[in-house]
Amino acid sequence: MILATAFLFLLVFARFFYVQVVQGEKLRARAIGQWTREIPVVAARGEIVDANGVVLAGNRSSYTVFARPNAVEDKNAAAATLASIFSLDEAELYSALTGSRVSELTIARRVEKQLVERLEQYDLPGVYYARDNTRLYPYGSMLSRVLGFTSSDNTGLTGLEKYYESYLAGADGEIAYPADLVGAEIEGEAYYYPATDGLNIRLTIDASVQEIAEAAMEEVYAQYSPETAQCIVLDPDTFDVLAMAESPSYDLNDIPRDDPEQLNRLSRNNLISDIYEPGSTFKIVTATANIEEHLQGNSNAFSMQYIFNSSRTRTVDGTTIRCWSDHANGKHSHQTLAEALNNSCNPCFTDIALSLGTETFYEYLNLFHFGETTGIDFSGEAQGMLVPETAVRACDLARIGFGQTVAVTALQLACAAASAVNGGYYYTPRLVKEIYAPDGSVSVSISSVLKNRTVSEEASAILCSLLEGVVRDGSGSRAYIEGYRVAGKTGTAQKFENGSIAQGKYVSSFLGFFPANDPQYLVLVIVDEPEGAYYGSVVAAPAAKQIFQGIIDAKGIDPVE
């Protein structure tokens, strides 16, 4: 009997312990929820600013209006009043207030202050409002494909808004008022749970450079009516992204949410997420590999003075590779590496790739991280396409040498070129440099990370000199700026569709940098399917020159003496 009593006592004690300790917090919260009316205190979403503190994504104060159907005393009057103030359907509102089984309805979001002031005049029982935040993009369409946008409840959906959501979002609070079982407020002490505002993120983007790049792409788009005109500007010393521009664009304050197909097309960051055959801009990589191998004493690499075969064609595995020029009147004959770059002669770079061989050339392709993502802090990065080394044929290797049979993202190519001209240092590119609190204290610092060395500083310096010659004397002359040491390489690539060349469709590009002896700004311009002119030297090089000139003017960069 004593044992049975003791056992029952232990059971009762265990139940009390479970209810009061184990489940105590949960049950207390449920009780508070049944006897309180909560008004949300919305956290301010963190701002997104450029490298210099210019606000690119901020907030505008607004309000959200709620109703508790059980606490609304005159549903007819409430429906009529709410419909009148917020331009809603009165019948639908009345139906929601009378037929809904939910304890709370959201009547209107992102309401301006003057409308809330009108609502206050009616003092409707069961209807209340809370401060909210509406995302505001002061520059409209600028950097739209990078910043991304938020949902109606301020959750990041695309771009950096999504990638850094956990930092930007913050945590909402609430004010809990005592209420009866139907939700009507009664007298008693209110509980205040403060919101925690989101953290701000500082980009590597320079708003002044971004504006220059966007203006140039808009002009190219207006002149040549391409599918897209795209541009990326990098700091070659750190791989910081200074600008990413693409036309056409869209206003982040007026998102076409009712057209998902158009929205997906306009919001996609093609510079990071899409791949293409780069064509002659890829010759920068082939030339770099050859220079480095020559310096290392590889007898298969060509010297700077080597004279290439003057024939216009090369035949590899039954595939004929041609130069764009007909080589008439001795043009393109007896070319050195500098002249081959100036003339953008495909057969010369076929010779280099085949001479280096698959194993050696692929070592450089891997050092420059082709066929893999760069690791940039952005969702949806593509890794490009590179024929596996074990499967590559001689004709494939020959074409890779001048930028065919290989597909890259614009970011991949820009990073590879940056490494080739900055002394041979390959970094992980970044869009955000730090995350900081509203009081200015830095929560997370994101430093440049060196991945690996690609080539020697000597090889890099030689390449820069050769590419300066391309702009001064060769196909890149339309990017030349008197008094400034601009270097670069043009590209004109035929597009492939369904396994064959798409007639009349080209990708025009220019990859350049300055100053040639100490690169500070690297620009890649890509124009997809321009109408009329299509050579990179004609379409893309002048746009790059416009960007370089804009940077020179904005930053007050003096000419060389």
Task: Give the residues across from 171 on adjacent strands.
Answer: 196
**208 is a catalytic site residue:** no
Same structural domain for residues 360 and 214?
A: yes
**Domain count for the chain:** 2
Residues 83, 224 share a domain: no
Q: How far is the C-alpha of 536 from the C-alpha of 218, rounded, in Å?
A: 17
| pLDDT for res 35 | 44
Whole-number pLDDT of residue 427: 98
Is the residue at 215 inside a domain? yes
Instruction: Tell me which residue of 72, 218, 104 sits closest to 547, measured CA to CA.
Output: 218
pLDDT score, position 97: 87
- Tell whether 117 and 262 lie within a shared domain: no
* Residue among 513, 308, 325 at smallest CA distance from 420: 513
Q: What was the pLDDT predicted at 29?
A: 44
Q: Is residue 479, in this structure, part of any structural domain at all?
A: yes
Range of the domain at 276: 207-427+450-555
Please tell me the predicted confidence (pLDDT) of residue 30. 46
Q: Are residues 129 and 233 in the same domain?
A: no
CA distance 461 to 516: 9
Instruction: Quote the CA–CA distance of 315 and 201 in Å, as a whole number.
Output: 54
- pTM, full prediction: 0.87
Query: Looking at the DSSP assignment, which residues form a beta bridge with residue 314?
Result: 321
Residues 118 and 266 in one domain: no
Given the residues 280, 344, 419, 537, the one annotated as active site: 280
- The enclosing domain of 118 has a CATH number of 3.90.1310.10
pLDDT of residue 99: 76
- What is the reported pLDDT for 72? 86
Same domain, 78 and 226: no
Residues near 201 by beta carbon (within 8 Å), at least 6 away in sequence: 46, 47, 48, 49, 160, 164, 167, 168, 432, 434, 435, 436
> Which pLDDT score, from 0 to 100, does residue 70 have?
80
Q: What is the CATH number of the domain that holds 487?
A: 3.40.710.10
Count the helices and strands in the chain (H runs, E runs).
19, 21
9/24 Cα distance (integer angstroms): 20
Residue type, 119: L
d(CA 67, CA 78): 9
- 228 and 113, same structural domain? no
List for the chain the helix, strand, coil content (%; round to 5).
40, 25, 35
Peptide bond connecting 515 to the previous residue in cis, omega within 30 degrees of 0 = yes
Decide if 45 is inside a domain: no
Mean pLDDT by 10 residues, the chain (561 residues): 61 55 49 54 92 96 85 88 91 84 82 89 86 90 96 91 96 72 54 85 98 98 97 98 96 91 91 96 98 96 88 88 74 83 93 97 98 97 96 96 96 98 98 96 95 98 98 95 97 80 88 97 97 94 98 96 67
Does residue 149 belong to any structural domain of this protein? no
